[in-house]
Amino acid sequence: MNNNLILSPLPHTWIFDVDGTLCIHNGYKNGGDKVLDGVRELFNKIPDNDMIILLTSRTENEKENLENFMNLHKLRFNHIIFNAPMGERILINDDKPSGLKTAYAVSKKRDETLDINFLIDERL
């Protein structure tokens, strides 16, 4: 799968599932969360003016633990949505009149390295 994204210089919204994408799946139930390979590298490249939203099926009871974990590992976020259903996550957005594509989806194998590269193209 090609995980190379060409993005505009506009601010972006990043939406990440937590378990299996950023952390070992259900690690919090089995001894503690662990950051997956590639996550820190990607988060360090995300521009400061971009928004990061986390989705998780974890309940609100896990809010403090997850926020502390993210902060401990210096993985910034703007919002966390708890109690998300376990099924597919569907993103629907409208393209800009200029033709700029405004929605991307990347599926990855559970608990494997988060391997997404992006380039900001100032011409877009």
Confidence (pLDDT) at 3? 83
Confidence (pLDDT) at 2? 63
Helix (H) or strand (E) holding 7: strand 4-7
CA–CA–CA angle 93, 98, 104 (5° rounding): 35
Sequential pLDDT tens for the chain (124 residues)? 568 999 999 999 999 999 999 999 999 999 999 999 999 999 999 999 999 999 999 999 999 999 999 999 999 999 999 999 999 999 999 999 999 999 999 999 999 999 999 999 999 8
Q: Does domain 4-120 have CATH number 3.40.50?
A: yes
Confidence (pLDDT) at 47? 97
Three-state SS for 19-69 is: ECCCECCCHHHCCCCCECCCHHHHHHHCCCCCEEEEECCCCHHHHHHHHHH
Does the global pTM surpass 0.75? yes
